[in-house]
Each structure stands twice: as structure tokens, then as C-alpha cells.
């Protein structure tokens, strides 16, 4: 860790959240509030993310091309979950593709796990606010239910480090 940063947690914190889309195939957000503000000058070092669409949501994926997108973002005013958007911190897409007979089954393990601890710095460092969970679908008949689990530690940052973190998330022009 650079300069004045200091790990405040000895062990990982766990935060779980659930998002029900406002309607089928509609981009929806929910802000995660942790009691920390921009003025606390701390970062959240996310080392692991688990995404888990509900069983009912996965059961609605009935045709090739149906998909479910889950993400964490720094804004709830974006129009689409796109990896090229600076506000999208991390995302995953689960897509149905029919190859051959439609009756063919595929087994999968939930949750979908992203181990970020192998990245430089042991994860993705974000500000505690704003922090949103987001989801969207294509081809589903009803609103999806999406579940999230985050493993993170709180890092105390020097003023210069914190300002740099804010710059990476484009808070300042």
C-alpha cells in the first residue's frame, strides 16, 4: 500500500444485497449505504464479488439470446451497463445460447464468483459513496431478482490518495 494508506480491517467484511428490477428488461439500480461518506477519506477494497440471479430469474431464460446482467457502478444515471462506461466498476453477463437441441441441459454452479484478490493491490478500490448495485435483462417475461455478496476491507487513505481515487471515478472534470 502506498504512502499514508492503512488497512483498517484485519479480516474481510461481508455485505449482501438484493435487487429486484423495476420491470422486466429494465435497467435498475439500488444504492448501497454503509454509514461512510466521502469525507471519511476511506476506500473499500473489494477482493471478491459473488453474483447470483434467483432460480426464478434463470428459469425465465427460455430462448437463445436471453441474458441477465449484474454490475456495481458509481452512478445510477447511466443508460446501459457497458464495460466502456467509467461508472461501471465491475459487471458480469449470463447469456443463454442454444446450440442444437433445445432440450439439452447444462448444469452450473451458483454463485458466479469473481476473485479480485489477484489484482495489483489485492482488489478493486472504490469510494464508499456513491456505490450502486445494478441489473438488467433481455428477453425475460418478468422482473428479475438479483443477489450480490461482496467481500471487502476498509482502507484509510491519505488526502492525496483519496483525491486520486476520486479522480479515477471521474467525480471531478
In this prediction, residue 39 carries a pLDDT of 78
Predicted confidence (pLDDT) per residue in 51-88, tens digit: 999 988 988 898 888 999 999 999 999 999 998 898 99
Cα distance between residue 111 and residue 8, in whole Å: 28
Cα distance between residue 19 and residue 52, in whole Å: 11
In this prediction, residue 148 carries a pLDDT of 98
In this prediction, residue 107 carries a pLDDT of 67
**In contact, 43 and 155? CB cutoff 8 Å:** yes
In this prediction, residue 173 carries a pLDDT of 39
Domains and CATH numbers, the chain: 6-168 (2.60.120)
Quote the pTM value: 0.86
Amino acid at each position: 500500500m502506498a504512502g499514508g494508506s492503512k488497512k483498517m480491517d484485519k479480516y474481510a467484511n461481508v455485505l449482501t444485497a438484493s435487487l429486484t428490477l423495476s420491470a422486466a428488461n429494465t435497467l435498475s439500480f439500488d444504492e448501497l449505504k454503509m454509514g461512510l461518506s466521502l469525507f471519511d477519506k476511506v476506500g473499500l477494497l473489494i477482493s471478491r464479488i459473488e453474483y447470483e440471479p434467483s432460480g426464478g430469474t434463470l428459469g425465465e431464460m427460455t430462448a437463445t439470446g436471453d441474458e441477465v446482467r449484474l454490475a456495481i457502478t458509481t452512478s445510477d444515471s447511466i443508460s446501459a451497463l457497458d464495460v466502456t462506461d467509467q461508472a461501471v466498476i465491475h459487471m458480469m453477463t449470463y447469456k443463454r445460447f442454444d446450440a442444437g437441441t433445445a432440450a439439452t441441459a447444462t448444469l452450473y454452479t451458483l454463485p458466479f464468483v469473481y476473485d479480485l484478490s489477484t489484482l495489483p493491490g489485492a482488489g478493486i478500490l472504490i469510494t464508499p459513496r456513491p456505490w450502486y448495485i445494478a441489473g438488467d435483462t433481455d428477453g425475460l417475461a418478468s422482473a428479475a431478482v438479483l443477489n450480490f455478496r461482496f467481500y471487502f476491507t476498509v482502507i484509510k487513505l491519505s488526502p492525496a490518495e483519496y483525491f486520486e481515487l476520486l479522480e479515477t471515478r471521474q467525480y471531478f472534470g
